Amino acid sequence: MMIKSSIGKLTLDFDPILLAQQSGFSMLDYSAQDAVPLKTLAFHHKDPFDRMLISQSMSRNYKIMTADSKFALYDCKLVR
């Protein structure tokens, strides 16, 4: 969100961290362990940030909610 905002593709007139916390969400840090699957992750998806999300979901056995069909090409769990 911050990258999209910085390049003018998204307008943020709120604090997304505060809003997430007020909505009951917890912040999820990205660890070195989360990055390990990146070494062997196929290049179905070229976006580095999406690849990081996929890798993190795989390392933590978390599900991802996305409309991006390329995520289904990976061995990660998706919310359907």
Q: Which of 35, 34, 42, 32 is nearest to 72 (CA)?
A: 42
DSSP code string of the chain: -HHHHHTTS----S-HHHHHHHTT-------HHHHGGGGT--TT---HHHHHHHHHHHHHT-EE--S-GGGGGSSSEE--
Domain that holds residue 18: 2-78
- Which phi and psi angles does 41 have, rounded to 5°? -70, 125
pLDDT by residue for the chain (80 residues), tens digit each?
898 899 999 999 999 999 999 999 999 999 999 999 999 999 999 999 999 999 999 999 999 999 999 999 999 999 98
The identity of residue 39, as a single letter, is: K
Q: What pTM was estimated for this model as a whole? A: 0.81
